[in-house]
A and B are shown apart, each in its own frame.
Chain A
Amino acid sequence: MAAESSHPMPPYGVAIHQAIATGDLARMRSVATSASAYLSENGDLRAALEVLKAEIARAEAKKS
């Protein structure tokens, strides 16, 4: 994780190529991006879980 510096870094000439956003807002965005990516790749886990529970209930009903 890039360190946070409390000293401004005078930008002369070229911009600071290695700089990345810090602070709460940047961190929240990063986490939201990861969470959104996970959800988009894995669909609706809650809905899938409800279907699974229904199947468990059916399977248990057959056995009893």
Chain B
Amino acid sequence: MSATIIDDTTPARFLSDADLLNCVPVHVVWEITLACDLKCLHCGSRAGHRRSAELTTEECLGVVRSLAGLGTREISLIGGEAYLRKDWTEIVAAIRAHGMYCAIQTGGRNLTPERMQKAIEAGLNGVGVSLDGLAPLHDRVRNVRGSFARAVDTLRRAREAGLAISVNTQIGAETMPDLPELMETVIAVGAKQWQIQLTVAMGNAVDHDELLLQPYRLLEVMPLLARLYKEAAARGLLISVGNNIGYYGPYEHLWRGFGDERVHWTGCGAGQTVLALEADGTVKGCPSLATVGFAGGNVRDLTLEDIWHHSADIHVGRLRSVEDLWGFCRTCYYADACRGGCTWTSHSLVGEPGNNPYCHYRALELDKQGLRERVVKIREAAKASFAIGEFEIVTERVADGAVVGSSLTEPRPVRTRTATAGPTPARVRPRLDICRGCDAYILPGTVSCPHCQADVPAAAAAYETERERRATIIADIERQLGMLGRLPAA
């Protein structure tokens, strides 16, 4: 079902059926420099020094024109630190001149008042700042003492200057205890959106694998996030989850629709409606994916249009089917819709997408069998940007720790890649229904819920009755407020 009505208030990143079918790169995440003033222990791109031969100003402006022509509506500038490029505000201005929304994601260490003012004058719309825990944890993970205070100060100044602000947080092995108090900080600085994702085993995070959350701890993380989500919503803060948090557990209906429970995870979107650029002009389908294996070309060699439409290496989200899945994911109830969750997360772990232990449904199903999964590093990552190592996914019995399975012995799919004469076709993703007995997602047409055994049509009818009752109550008060000239903003 498509329910998208696009109007002036629609967020730039909302997707229509047409966006999906036509593979419009609605959202672009662009690393404009790898230079960075932080030394994060979990940095996947190993940011710090500039890349050799980063795009010139003219080349960047050419990219902006190409993206506008492809239908891009939003560009997030990242690094390293985007503000360490001398011409970064010129790039912001060009993006805004084409009517595209422009924000930066930053660690906030040196987004000085002067830099911020120039960016505002160039038309910058918003700032996302990363907070990876309370000050002690954040400073340790970001590897710069005082970085938390600088980040919070950046948020305050950005809000006071009228910019939209948001916070990103990575969940690692030590983050959970910090989250409730961190949420207080996020609310106090006035952020309205808080995006949460898992730390992934890439780059520096492989060197510091003690930072990684173990998959079985999703059984603790997800109920905590659900509790925080509901509390935050009541206090005006929207929590959204990154693509590697999920999937289809009892809280999936909370994560992706901002209250629209029809919206659920529908598989990796890389290369379908998301495009990414590295600072030297390398094009990928997702900013997080490894360069090796997922680079689709370089804007210095090919036009961006040709890369986007014809390079199968970036069309990850368009291509994957159940045939590409392996391990637990291959026979999962949600295989066709989920398609292995976040490509970045699973590929970074085991060198192959399609088998993702960071899945709430998977952790719950294993737990029912008295099992759980751990990831164990077996190879270090190279020192290159976006390099991955290798991890073993160990399945063990909870009761005594006995190992009963390993990703090293799982058969992997045989992948073939066929060149296409035209753009790789895409599809509108499968839609699941929601069981109103337990709020879990179910295959369309299911009559008896496989999760809670509810009579699905009866539960749906009862839910509809309840919804109509609520609508009547809302309409009555709105009518009275309308007569008083006090209707709430739509």
Given contacts A3-B4, A6-B4, A9-B14, contact A34 B488 (CB under 8 A): yes
Report chain A residues within 8 Å CB of B90. Answer: none
By the criterion of a CB under 8 Å from any partner CB, how many residues of chain A are at the interface?
A: 37
Q: Is B431 an interface residue (CB 8 A)?
A: yes
Report chain B residues within 8 Å CB of A43. Answer: none
Report chain B residues within 8 Å CB of A10. Answer: 27, 243, 269, 273-274
B477–A20 touching, CB < 8 Å: no
A16–B470 touching, CB < 8 Å: no
Report chain A residues within 8 Å CB of B194. Answer: 15
- Min CB distance A1 to B, Å, is 4
Report chain A residues within 8 Å CB of B265. Answer: 8
The listed residue (A7, A22, A27, A37) touching B15 by CB distance below 8 A is A7
The listed residue (B13, B264, B288) touching A9 by CB distance below 8 A is B13
Report chain A residues within 8 Å CB of B177. Answer: none
Q: Is B380 an interface residue (CB 8 A)?
A: no
A9–B11 touching, CB < 8 Å: yes
B167–A15 touching, CB < 8 Å: yes
Report chain A residues within 8 Å CB of B17. Answer: 7
B286–A12 touching, CB < 8 Å: yes
Q: Is B20 an interface residue (CB 8 A)?
A: yes
| Cα separation A4 to B155 with both chains bound (whole Å) | 28
B29–A8 touching, CB < 8 Å: no
Report chain A residues within 8 Å CB of B414. Answer: none
CB within 8 Å of A: which of B240-299? 240-243, 256-266, 269, 273-274, 276, 286-288
Number of A-B contacts (CB under 8 A): 182
Taking residues whose C-beta sits less than 8 angstroms from the other chain, chain B's interface range is 35 or more
B167–A31 touching, CB < 8 Å: no
A14–B488 touching, CB < 8 Å: no
Q: Is A49 an interface residue (CB 8 A)?
A: no
CB within 8 Å of B: which of A12-30? 12-30
| Cα separation A24 to B127 with both chains bound (whole Å) | 30
Report chain A residues within 8 Å CB of B147. Answer: none
A25–B489 touching, CB < 8 Å: no
The listed residue (B6, B165, B234) touching A3 by CB distance below 8 A is B6
B481–A38 touching, CB < 8 Å: yes
Q: Is B329 an interface residue (CB 8 A)?
A: no
Report chain B residues within 8 Å CB of A32. Answer: 477
**A38 (CB) vs chain B CBs: closest residue:** B486
Report chain A residues within 8 Å CB of B404. Answer: none
**A17 (CB) vs chain B CBs: closest residue:** B164
**B10 (CB) vs chain A CBs: closest residue:** A3
CB within 8 Å of A: which of B1-51? 1-7, 9-17, 19-20, 27, 29
Report chain A residues within 8 Å CB of B477. Answer: 31-32, 35
A14–B481 touching, CB < 8 Å: no
A8–B274 touching, CB < 8 Å: no
Q: Is A64 an interface residue (CB 8 A)?
A: no
- Min CB distance A29 to B, Å, is 7
Report chain B residues within 8 Å CB of A13. Answer: 29, 76, 78, 103, 105, 128, 287
B269–A16 touching, CB < 8 Å: no
Report chain B residues within 8 Å CB of A5. Answer: 3-4, 10, 14-16, 260, 263
A31–B481 touching, CB < 8 Å: yes
**A8 (CB) vs chain B CBs: closest residue:** B256
A21–B259 touching, CB < 8 Å: yes
Residue among A18, A20, A26 having the largest count of chain B Cβ atoms under 10 Å: A18
A8–B266 touching, CB < 8 Å: yes
Report chain A residues within 8 Å CB of B14. Answer: 3, 5, 7, 9
Q: Is B487 an interface residue (CB 8 A)?
A: yes
Report chain B residues within 8 Å CB of A9. Answer: 11, 13-15, 27, 256
A25–B256 touching, CB < 8 Å: no
A14–B257 touching, CB < 8 Å: no
| Cα separation A10 to B125 with both chains bound (whole Å) | 19
A18–B288 touching, CB < 8 Å: no
A6-B262, A8-B264, A15-B128 are known contacts; what are 16 more A-B pairs with Cβ within 8 Å?
A: A3-B6, A6-B4, A10-B243, A10-B274, A13-B287, A14-B103, A17-B11, A22-B257, A23-B258, A24-B259, A24-B470, A28-B470, A30-B488, A31-B474, A34-B481, A35-B481
**Lowest 3 CB-CB distances: which A-B pairs, in order?**
A23-B259, A13-B76, A1-B490
Show the binding face of A for B, using Cβ within 8 Å: 1-35, 37-38
Give 14 pairs: A residue, B residue, CB < 8 Å, sorted on A. A6-B260, A7-B263, A8-B263, A8-B264, A9-B14, A10-B243, A12-B288, A14-B105, A14-B168, A15-B240, A18-B10, A18-B12, A22-B260, A33-B488
